[in-house]
Structure 1
Amino acid sequence: MSQKNTKFQRFPLSAEAARANKKLDFGIVDGHHHLDLNTLPRPSAVYLHFPFEKFGFEPLVKPLPPAPAGYEPPVPFELLAENLRHMLSFFGTQQATMNTFLPSDLLDMVEEAGVKLAGSVHLQAGWEHGPMGELGETKWLQEEVNAPTKGQVATGIVGTVDLLNNTPETVRAQLKAHFQYSAFRGIRYTLSHTRPGMNDLTFNPQDNLVENPKFLANYAVLEEFGAEFDLWCYGHQLHQGVVLAKKFPNIRIALNHFGTPINIGNDKKVYQKWLNDMTELSKCPNVYCKLSGLMKPLGLEKFLYQKPWRTAGPTARDIADSIFGDMIKTTVKLFGVDRCFFGSNFLVDWACARYGELLASFVLALEDIGITSKADLRKIFRENCAKFYKLKLSDEAKL
């Protein structure tokens, strides 16, 4: 990672966020984030020299390197612009998906929040498929992130293996290769599949994979390795998580982003279905829930419009009083303080909030339902994640 890295602009915390974050006077664990470098083999790499302003887009906060003389884009810029508009219908802004985001950036944001980072979990992020699947991402994270930070960042690595188009033998071989890296813990194989009329993206071409014998045979291999499974689906698919959890009770599942119930902030029917399905999922003892995923598709465009990548953005209280705060409170009530843990989902959630305000919003939401003890805060912001992913935290020797 020798590329020069411009720092993100800092802003002071709101008074209530500063107060809330002071309660986290221990090393926290960020249970869900991504890192990116615009030269990595990921989808954003084709935008390395894309002229954002020429096509009516805001330039990235971190300037891209200039195109060399005679540069020919791998994909025509016009097609890239069209694709970008489609992506932004979900992500809201390219600032949250295409800026370089390195360990130093994450640590700067944590410092701006007024807390210390004891460890983190990196989630797979669209690495190019190679002969051994996405093994290259795990290798990069172990050697270029985990090792240089002495395990402070990417303490745990969640990679991916294709559970639909492989055989169990191939899945077994790929997991064995991933587990050669000490920080590797399991996989996320995204189930998120759109429905007609939904303002979202399809991340898996097939729906109802829990009824697909091939997927189920491959999923079963996870148990052989003691690998955990990160589940990201849409709200209307949460029942599929219930099916998986019951069919494979020995495979631990971490639900990502509350199941991303599309437009929950504007549709009472969406909220009621989400509540019903989360209630059923919470009855499965092998399922934990990540408190994460402050994203535009929930119906939170009002936060996106404040442009937190260039301003102080919404306050922690704004977030805690929104539908997102309600989701936090409801989820913790359902799953309990022993099966929930914090994840920033940065840089993606930067589209709607700054790190420190987002972190504090969880503290405020928990306060609103009477969860204020140091023991409970340590569980949600540190211990539960460390337990779920079996992490060795960077500050353990100092405690």
Structure 2
Amino acid sequence: MTEAATTPAEPILEPELPIVDPHHHLWDRPAARGADLPPPRHPFEVLTRLSPRYLLDELLADLRRGHNVRATVFVQCGAMYRADGPAHLRPVGETEFVNGVAAMTASGIYGEVRACAGIVGHVDLTQDEGLVAEALERHLQVAPDRFRGIRHSASWDADPAVLGPLHRGAAGLYASDAFRRGFARLAPLGLSFDAWLLEPQIGELTDLARAFPETPIILDHVGTPLGIGAYAGRREERFGVWRDALAELARCPNVVVKVGGLAMPFAGFASFQSRPPASSEQLAAEWRPYVEATIETFGPERCMFESNFPVDLGSCSYDVLWNAFKRLAKGCSADEKAALFSGTATRVYRLALP
């Protein structure tokens, strides 16, 4: 198994600052465990082997590393789908599973943290409208106090080497008539939409946001800047293209951004799987251009720092990641920090916290 990024312990910066982590996953992937697995063919395969199991125990261990994490939001990752029954309802199993985890921490026996206080599930919006409507209603039925929306990723690139095992689907998902018919079902139910795509696709999300101004849209991972595959060595060259696309997206008032995901391999930063592991200072230096441009473009009230754990484990530990964000926010006012670290997430995902 590939070695995890076990960054040497660092003092926790601003340990009292309240945090709501708006993006993490839970899963159990037995197929990713074992010493006889073939060598990974893509950096993303490294990540699944670093954390084949990430359930409540593992999440709580990260939440207890010293930062003042008050609550979290779970985001779909294909975990615990139902093994049988109608295909369009199988993703409801993930929401059932996560709602149970949320109920465990809501009991208070694990402390004051409220894990999975908000849940983002999955529905295939390209299905028949009736199936989409039934699936959305079922998610709401199994987690009425926590289900907040769905994520239907559109990530795609002409070079399969960019996404590796995640290369699937086809280009132009968010523009398709079938997708938009399903998407139209979200706003009447008060649901939001999380979007994961790649930097060259940001314009597709802008078109979608303009077509549905009443639907809250959250862009994940600052639009996933690229620096591998066909984009290797071109990250700095593409920075202006990314920044301009983000500025156009920011003209849509119904869009907010999750600031994070830069520890994934897609940007091609030196910190991914570095030995020794990167410090929070190095991470902050690498991520600074993207983080500062995003906050400047959208404003703190439309940005929220995210952990993207356990995926971001490939570059750092949970405590070091939040230290990096705190370094990046050093020049912000108290009100701006409150928005970035907890306020925006609490508002956008409508979290009811003690």
| TM-score normalised to structure 1 length | 0.78
- What is the aligned partner in structure 1 of residue 57 from structure 2? 104
Q: Is 1:134 the equivalent of 2:74?
A: no
- Deviation string, structure 1 residues 126-184 (Cα, Å, up to 9, x no partner): 234652130000001112x10010071110000000012x1111111100000111211
Q: Is 1:147 the equivalent of 2:138?
A: no
Aligned-pair distance for 1:326? 1.5
The DSSP-based 3-state class of the residue aligned with 2:64 is helix
Q: Is 1:119 the equivalent of 2:83?
A: no
Structure 1 residues 319 and 11: CA distance shift in structure 2, 3 A: closer
- What is the aligned partner in structure 2 of residue 298 from structure 1? 267
Q: Is the contact between residue 5 and residue 313 of structure 2 (CA under 8 Å) also seen in structure 1?
A: no
- What is the aligned partner in structure 2 of residue 189 from structure 1? 152
- d(CA) in 1 for partners of 2:128, 2:233: 42
Counterpart AA for 2:26:
L
Q: Is 1:389 the equivalent of 2:342?
A: no
- What is the aligned partner in structure 2 of residue 233 from structure 1? 197
Aligned-pair distance for 1:304? 1.3
- d(CA) in 1 for partners of 2:176, 2:47: 35
Counterpart AA for 2:31:
V
Counterpart AA for 2:140:
F
Structure 1 residues 302 and 292: CA distance shift in structure 2, 3 A: closer
Aligned-pair distance for 1:271? 1.4
- d(CA) in 2 for partners of 1:301, 1:36: 27
- d(CA) in 2 for partners of 1:337, 1:192: 26
Runs of 4+ in 1 over 6 A off after TM superposition: 8-11
Aligned-pair distance for 1:27? 3.1
- Deviation string, structure 1 residues 57-86 (Cα, Å, up to 9, x no partner): 5xxxxxxxxxxxxxxxxxxxxxxxxxxx34
Q: Is 1:21 the equivalent of 2:6?
A: no
- What is the aligned partner in structure 1 of residue 109 from structure 2? none
Aligned-pair distance for 1:105? 2.0
- What is the aligned partner in structure 2 of residue 270 from structure 1? 238
Q: Which runs of 5+ in 2 are unaligned?
A: 107-112
- What is the aligned partner in structure 2 of residue 320 from structure 1? 284
The DSSP-based 3-state class of the residue aligned with 1:122 is strand
- Deviation string, structure 1 residues 21-69 (Cα, Å, up to 9, x no partner): 33xx1431100000122xxxxxx3434xx542x3455xxxxxxxxxxxx
- d(CA) in 1 for partners of 2:329, 2:260: 14
- What is the aligned partner in structure 2 of residue 70 from structure 1? none
Q: Is the contact between residue 91 and residue 348 of structure 1 (CA under 8 Å) also seen in structure 2?
A: no
- What is the aligned partner in structure 2 of residue 281 from structure 1? 249
Structure 1 residues 247 and 96: CA distance shift in structure 2, 3 A: farther
- d(CA) in 2 for partners of 1:276, 1:11: 34
The DSSP-based 3-state class of the residue aligned with 2:233 is coil
- d(CA) in 2 for partners of 1:204, 1:246: 26
Q: Is the contact between residue 250 and residue 286 of structure 1 (CA under 8 Å) also seen in structure 2?
A: yes
Q: Is 1:358 the equivalent of 2:321?
A: yes
Aligned-pair distance for 1:302? 3.5
| TM-score normalised to structure 2 length | 0.87
The DSSP-based 3-state class of the residue aligned with 1:190 is coil
**Greater radius of gyration (CA):** 1
Identity rate of aligned residues, in percent?
28
Q: Is 1:339 the equivalent of 2:302?
A: yes
Aligned alpha-carbon RMSD (Å): 2.2
- What is the aligned partner in structure 2 of residue 61 from structure 1? none
Q: Which runs of 5+ in 1 are unaligned?
A: 1-7, 38-43, 58-84
- What is the aligned partner in structure 2 of residue 174 from structure 1? 135
The DSSP-based 3-state class of the residue aligned with 1:155 is strand
- d(CA) in 1 for partners of 2:259, 2:202: 16
- Deviation string, structure 1 residues 73-117 (Cα, Å, up to 9, x no partner): xxxxxxxxxxxx34x33354434442x1122322222322x2222
The DSSP-based 3-state class of the residue aligned with 1:146 is helix
